[in-house]
Amino acid sequence: MSSRKDFLNFLDNLIKDYEKSPEAWDNNNLQDFLDGFYLFAKSMQNYYDNMHENVDADDISWKMLADMLLGAKVCQ
């Protein structure tokens, strides 16, 4: 994912996923989702290091923003 258009497509799919199966989301209310977003953003460098991806979490990209939103779905 490298463009705003890609990110918007990702968001559209994420919304559809939630609408289709909110029970699959660990964080399915706004408070829990925002807490998960915070926790993932705080530890995302560890995530990239563990996945052996050469990513600097301080240099944000559209893909990283998408990763944070996906992480917020389940991060507790």
Give residue limits of the domains in the chain.
4-74
Q: In the structure encoding, which two tokens stand for residue 17, read together?
A: 């996923």
CA distances from 41 to 16, 26, 28, 62 (A): 23, 17, 18, 14
List, for residues 23-55, the tens digit of each pLDDT value: 999 999 999 999 998 998 999 999 999 999 999
Q: How many of the other CB atoms lie within 10 Å of CB of 33?
A: 19
Residue 74 confidence (pLDDT): 83
Here the contacts of 23-27 (C-beta below 8 Å, separation 24 or greater) are: 25/73, 25/74, 26/73, 26/74, 26/75, 26/76, 27/72, 27/73, 27/74, 27/75, 27/76
The predicted pLDDT at position 56 comes to 94
